């Protein structure tokens, strides 16, 4: 009897020690939090963006990043970090989302946004909205306060009003630069969009994307950004992804979900899966663009097949970076 009791205590001690060791090793490998953002990808070169403009973009990316990082550092959730980071980018006229949204063929602004959380695969999105100041916040409300995943146009605006979100006159989205770029369209294929993915202290992943779409798009056109699985995807078993690029390709190739699926079913690493989809599948068919992603262990990917992608990241370990070109 005594021997049996001793053996049970010994086994319990071994189990305790092993589970303790596992926690130590996984926490030393996985950062407490990670945040990655993008401000769109494209084929602009050093000549299209002078040094001063590059510095301006980098400063805004850093500012946006630090908003999300502060939230995560203080124990905020990945959804809170993503919303506030994207709100900042939406309010900044430099990026093609919110205030800086590009114009459609007939001179309007039609904005798309989506959010997805990785622990329960809940998601929300709005598409083709013309008067919601911060579409990412509306997407979050669709996720949390409705039984739907996607709402469009006037219905989405009506819903946003009921949720007490800020509604603006469509003239709010007029910026000289975007108007000019509609006039000069086809000079260069430009992409925009903003996105943010995060891993928070609770081990949860989420992804958000917000865009004005593509300059000169036809009335009613919806891109990949509000489509779960195409422009945005998050799953705690794999990763969180936000995409930017030629939306029609990202929809047809279900880019964000494809990357997650390669990790889930084929055990590819985040970088291998991103390369497979962005630098092989998409490249072969002429689908230009890129993604930002973070996996459940805090590894990140910022992969694009264009000349540049505005991007920045920060980890609790102190690693940080902001870049535009390859």
Beta carbon of residue 211, minimum distance to ligand ASP (angstroms, whole number): 5
For residue 156, what are its two tokens? 């989405």
In angstroms, rounded to a whole number, what is the distance separating the alpha carbons of residues 269 and 223?
A: 27
Beta carbon of residue 28, minimum distance to ligand ASP (angstroms, whole number): 36
Residues 6+ apart with CB under 8 A from 78: 72, 117, 198, 199, 200, 204, 205, 206, 240
Catalytic residue among 30, 85, 104, 193: 193
Beta carbon of residue 245, minimum distance to ligand ASP (angstroms, whole number): 5
Beta carbons of 196 and 85 less than 8 angstroms apart: yes
Q: Strands across the sheet with 150-152, in order?
A: 150-152, 123-129, 111-117, 205-211, 194-199, 34-42, 308-315, 320-325
Beta carbons of 235 and 264 less than 8 angstroms apart: yes
Give 76 or 245: the residue with its C-beta nearer to ligand ASP. Answer: 245
Residue found under tokens 């891993």: 199
Q: Which spans of this chain sit near ligand ASP (rule: CB under 6 A)?
A: 40, 191-193, 211, 213-214, 223-225, 231, 244-245, 247
Beta carbon of residue 40, minimum distance to ligand ASP (angstroms, whole number): 5
Give 87 or 244: the residue with its C-beta nearer to ligand ASP. Answer: 244
Give 193 or 299: the residue with its C-beta nearer to ligand ASP. Answer: 193
Is 193 a catalytic site residue? yes
Beta carbons of 215 and 103 less than 8 angstroms apart: yes
Give 230 or 268: the residue with its C-beta nearer to ligand ASP. Answer: 230
Hey, which residues are catalytic here? Answer: 193
């Amino acid at each position: 009897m005594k021997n049996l009791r001793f053996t049970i205590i010994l086994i319990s001690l071994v189990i305790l020690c092993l589970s303790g060791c596992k926690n130590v090793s996984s926490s030393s490998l996985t950062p407490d939090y990670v945040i990655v953002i993008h401000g769109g990808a494209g084929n602009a070169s050093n000549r299209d963006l002078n040094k001063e403009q590059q510095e301006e973009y980098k400063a805004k990316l850093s500012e946006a990043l630090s908003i999300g990082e502060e939230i995560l550092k203080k124990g905020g959730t990945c959804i809170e970090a993503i919303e506030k980071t994207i709100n900042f980018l939406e309010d900044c006229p430099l990026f093609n989302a919110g205030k800086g949204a590009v114009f459609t063929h007939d001179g309007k602004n039609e904005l798309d946004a989506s959010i997805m959380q990785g622990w329960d695969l809940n998601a929300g999105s709005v598409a083709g909205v013309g008067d919601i100041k911060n579409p990412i916040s509306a997407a979050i409300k669709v996720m949390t306060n409705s039984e739907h995943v996607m709402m469009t146009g006037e219905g989405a605006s009506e819903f946003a009003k009921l949720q007490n979100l800020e509604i603006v006159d469509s003239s709010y989205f007029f910026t000289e630069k975007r108007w000019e770029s509609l006039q000069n369209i086809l000079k260069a294929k430009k992409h925009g969009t903003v996105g943010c993915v995060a891993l928070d202290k609770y081990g949860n992943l989420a992804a958000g994307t917000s865009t004005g779409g593509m300059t000169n798009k036809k009335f009613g056109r919806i891109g990949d950004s509000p489509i779960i699985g195409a422009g945005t995807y998050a799953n705690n078993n794999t990763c969180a992804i936000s995409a930017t690029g030629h939306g029609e390709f990202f929809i047809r190739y279900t880019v964000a979900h494809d990357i997650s699926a390669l990790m889930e079913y084929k055990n590819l690493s985040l970088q291998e899966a991103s390369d497979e989809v962005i630098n092989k599948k998409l490249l072969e068919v002429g689908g230009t663009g890129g993604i930002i992603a973070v996996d459940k262990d805090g590894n990140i990917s910022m992969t694009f097949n264009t000349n540049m992608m505005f991007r920045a990241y920060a980890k609790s370990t102190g690693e940080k970076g902001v870049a535009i070109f390859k």
